[in-house]
Amino acid sequence: MAARKSSYGKLAHMAQKVQGIDWASDASLVEADEQFARSAPLRERHHSCCHGCYNCCPLWVYTEDGVVVKIEGDYDGTLTQGCLCTKALNQQHLVYSPRHVLHPMRRVGSRGGNDWEIVSWDEAYDIVGEQMALATRKYGPYSIMVGAGGGGTYGNVFQRVTQDAIGAPVCISGGGCQCYLPADCAGQWMRGGSNNRHEGNNAREMWNAWQPAMECVVLWGAQTSASGAAYAARANAEMRERGIKTIVIDPYYTEEAAKADIWLPIRPMGDIAMLLGWFNYIIANKLYDEQFCKYWTNYPFLVDPDTRLPLKAEEVWPDYVNPSADPNDVYDTPAYVCFDARTNSVQPFPYTAPEDSPVDPVVFCEAEVNGRLCKSAGQIQWEACEDFTLEKTAELTWVDADTIERAIKLYATTLSGIGTGQFADMSELSSNFIFGTMALDMLCGKVNKPGVVLTEQKPESRHTARPTHFWCNRPYQETFGIGWTVGLTEGENLRRSQAAVERWNAKGVDGKAKQQAFVDYQLARLGSLEHKAVHQWQLNALAPVREALLTGEPYKISVRWEQSGNKYCVMSNGEQWNEAYANIDFCVHQQPHMTSTTIEDADLFLPMQEWLEFEHATETTTQFNQTFMRKQIVHMGETEDPFICVTRIVDSLCEKLGGDDAVLCRDFQFNGTYRTKEDIYPAWAEMFGVKSWPEAVKHSEDHTLTVPIDELYQFYQHLDIVDDGLPAGFATLSRKCEPYVTMAVLNGRTGFPYHFPYTQVAADGTWPEYDAVCTYKEQSENMLQDDPDFPFYLTTGRVAHYHHTTLRTAPYSRELIPVPDMRINPRDAADLGVAHGDWVELSSRRGATRGRAYLTEGVRPGVVMMERFYFPESYDHSTKTMSGGWRQCNVNLMARDDVVNDNFASASWRGYRVNVRKAEAPEGLWTEPEQFQPLMPSRTFESRTEEGACHA
């Protein structure tokens, strides 16, 4: 075996030295010893799951003498059934890539170059700890900034618990507010559970081939054949084979649109107008589910015109006794106010089973309550959409009225639901879109039953008590006494808050002071006063962070701890960020591969494990009804487990500051991280029901946790009678679905539920008013405007070969898509004198970039579409002009974050005006297959490198 490894090592070394020679096919050039020539390789098969995105498809990995030689799909994957996409297959090249950094690297020279020296892990941790401690002593813990990533990064949990441990409020993500945060909030706020995203582990009823009931699905901006090719695309094909009709709403002729029964080629970002047209038609033609709306939504609740909150019965009748109130003051079941059709009067509306209701509530109405005219929540939604006739909707969306009507009727008269994509999250319209699509399903009673999207699944979705939820799985209420558990009374939430304070007191720590310090840290998030839902994921609005970096106000940011891939590629205003990041005193970047961020900004680089090296039980390991053991199959050099890395850094910081007590709450980090694998193995073993994780993971294929299909699909949970004798209902404020989003109103007023028993209000006592129903809005730059300087409109989409900014060092994907294609209609191209494959320059009011023209009828005239990109070859040692590679073809150089969504601070990564003209190709980009030879795998076996300096 040793001889075999030695010879492979020689081959790898030769491949690095001999330019243009394929090291695999020219192995005969290296003289092998007799033992190697006669030996047979040790062939093994290992089970794991992919982490090329967040969909974690199960797979088999084949090794010979410990070297990965093949990756293939697992035919036992419930959804994938053996399928894999190119992102998974590329891992073989990435883990052995010459760009996969294997040792901690300290910059040699100034930022912007690509010269580094190897340091030990001990020295690396010491450097980071010292720099963070220096900043903390000088400026306080708010001076440490954390950079988070999206679903394609190696982990998401540890950024948040690490912030909490240190008390470092500044965290930004190129995704986050622009990716899934709005849907996460909407699912919790409106139904106390999952949302309608047609990806990941939501919206699974459309793939129910075992108990098929669905008749139609609306795929609204959901390009799953690109983002989930191995599982969603295959499952969608089978869905169509079962006869499910599809309605696709998308400005681009996607794979889904090509197979759709009805395609609505909507004007880009005309989605709110389309939604309101659907609301109008369904309400006006009484296609909604009246009984569901009456008894299982808050649409009948009369709303206080001053507070915009649904009136509670006690506010109108102070002596009213709520028959559904918990006598123990633990579970909260409010009584509201409605207009009763039986008595033709305003009446209390207590929570009961529908058949036991003392009232027949009217959904759409207005009534006088104590001298004030109050509208029902349903009436407020109706008034927001009543002008949106089919003709007006067609005019605003650029889809003909007959096609819109056909789509609405098919949706409204079948067992169906809406599955959404991420597109609107990347715009000013994020809250209106997600609130609107979920409310539309609620209006039509498409909740918790076979054949619809909005369902809760798995056995744990059934309850024996009134359902409750806390907005995240981090124990803020238990540890700090902060936050509101929805479904519990104010008294119970206060008792839990006080209990946390007393637990600190019992440890000899001032519990009230600790609680206040935690709240102060929360409220210090930049932009959160205006956009309070950023607290859902502990994020900050982007532009205020950049301003703080530039000015030092309201506090100095000194150390940047970047835990994601390439912010320059995934965020707008790159030049301004580049200027702002120059003010950072120290930047540490951790990733498997160096990116533009490393080259431009990092002083220290910490190499993380690729997913073939990464062992874990919970980090992106669940797909559909299966949870897999993530197995370490190879390990290159000194690459580190990211969960251990972040823990060691905080350890170093605490040591430099004189002890764990010097930070906000050292132990809180262990709600998501661990110091050693031995520390976490027992918890993983318990989760999988095995005695020893290290032993069990050797045969990980034998320990997949599978929820049986008949247990996975659960329906009508809200009707279960629970221990208070009432139907379980939903884990919302009212115990009903909330298409009138009460939580959005409360969140704007006080920051609820994130800081209870404290509030977040402006110094003058004012607060932002967030929309509670879907209301008409357009992007600040839209296609309805006459804009001769920027006559085109840019949207974006996904390609199956990449996830966000990952895989740009994967040679085969780069051969297939070496540069970003700008899709443009042939008529527009002809007017510009642009042929297919020509290079063009795109420009907006904020910046310019280039792309390669791809002529297609798949976009309407006036629309262009392009994906973000960066080029690692720009900092290759062979390049003539060294750069970070993010300026040449980066669509986000034209994007904007100066106008954002009110609730979520979502910036516009798409949906703005641009100009297009023919241009020359940027210099230095690799476009031909042979140019990607330097990215081919050459590190099949790699021991500790002796050299002291190298390039990325």
Is residue 447 domain-resident?
A: yes
Q: What is the pLDDT of residue 941?
A: 54
pLDDT at 22: 36
208, 219: one domain:
yes
Q: Please tell me whether residues 197 and 275 are part of one structural domain.
A: yes
pLDDT bracket for residue 230 (50, 70, 90): confident
Report the C-alpha gap between 422 and 434 in whole angstroms: 10
Q: pLDDT tens digits, residue range 794-805? A: 999 888 888 888
User: Distance of alpha carbon 16 from its chain centroid, rounded?
Assistant: 38
Q: What is the mean pLDDT of residues 197-217?
A: 86
Q: What is the pLDDT of residues 670-679, one digit of tens each?
A: 988 999 999 9
**Residues 243 and 389 both lie in one domain:** no
Are both 326 and 381 inside the same structural domain? yes
pLDDT at 52 over 50: yes
Cα distances (angstroms) measured from residue 559 to each of 99, 134, 432, 465, 596 = 26, 9, 36, 47, 18
What sign does the dihedral 388-394-396-397 (CA atoms) show?
A: positive
> What letters, b where the CB count within 10 A reaches 16 and e where it falls short, cover 137-170?
eebebbbbbbbbbbbbbbbbbbbbbbbbbbbbbb
User: Is there a domain that residue 75 lies in?
Assistant: no
- The last residue of a domain, from among 397, 425, 446: 397
pLDDT the model gives residue 258: 95
Q: Residue 940: pLDDT above 80?
A: no
Residues 385 and 404 in one domain: no
Average pLDDT of the chain is: 92
Mean pLDDT in residue range 591-612? 96
CB-based contact 267:274 (threshold 8 Å): no
Give the model confidence (pLDDT) of 630-646 as tens digits.
999 999 999 999 999 99
- In the chain, the percentage of residues whose pLDDT exceeds 70 is 94
pLDDT at 32: 59
Residue 268 and residue 300 share a domain: no
pLDDT band (50, 70, 90) for residue 823: very high
215, 944 Cβ separation under 8 angstroms: no
Task: Report the domain count for the chain.
Answer: 2
pLDDT given at position 800: 81
Mean pLDDT of 540-563: 97
Asked, for residue 522, whether it belongs to a domain, the answer is no
pLDDT reading at 154 higher than 80: no
The CATH number linked to 449 is 3.40.228.10
Distance CA 179, CA 531 (A): 15
pLDDT given for residue 904 in this prediction:
95
- Interval 295-327: pLDDT, tens: 999 999 999 999 999 999 999 999 999 999 999
My answer on whether 294 and 433 are in the same domain is no
Ranges 237-241, 483-487, 581-585: which has the least confidence? 237-241
Average pLDDT over residues 894-900: 95
DSSP 720-737: SB-TTSSB---SSSSSSB
- The whole-angstrom separation of Cα 180 and Cα 540 is 15
Q: Whole-angstrom Cα distance, residue 455 to residue 448?
A: 4
Note down the domain range covering 229. 189-285+398-456
pLDDT, mean of residues 58-84: 95
Taking the whole predicted model, whether its pTM rises above 0.75 is answered as yes
Report helix, strand or coil for 144.
Answer: strand
Does a structural domain hold residue 838?
A: no
Q: Is 236 a domain residue?
A: yes
Q: In the structure encoding, which two tokens stand for residue 141, read together?
A: 């813990």
Final residue before a domain boundary, out of 438, 456, 474: 456
Average pLDDT over residues 814-830: 96
Q: Do 280 and 407 fall within a single domain?
A: yes
Per residue in 249-293, pLDDT (tens digit) is: 999 999 999 999 999 999 999 999 999 999 999 999 999 999 999
The answer on 386 and 320 residing in a single domain is yes
In a domain, 746, yes or no: no
Assess whether 273 and 208 both reside in one domain. Answer: yes
514 in any annotated domain: no
Specify the 3-state DSSP secondary structure of 705. Answer: strand
How much is the pLDDT for 36? 67
Tokens for 624? Answer: 């559909």
Q: 378 and 294, same structural domain?
A: yes
Note whether 375 and 414 are same-domain residues.
no
More confident residue, 198 or 575: 575
**pLDDT class of 198 with cuts at 50, 70, 90:** confident
CB atoms within 10 A of CB 506: 9
d(CA 105, CA 950): 9
The answer to whether 320 and 311 are in contact (CB under 8 A) is: no
Q: What angle do CA 772, 777, 782 make, to 5 degrees?
A: 155
Inside any domain, residue 390: yes
Residue where one domain finishes, among candidates 409, 426, 456:
456
Q: pLDDT-based confidence at 17, cuts 50/70/90?
A: very low
- Average pLDDT rounded to a whole number, residues 587-598: 96
Task: Tell me which residue of 19, 149, 115 sits closest to 806, measured CA to CA.
Answer: 149
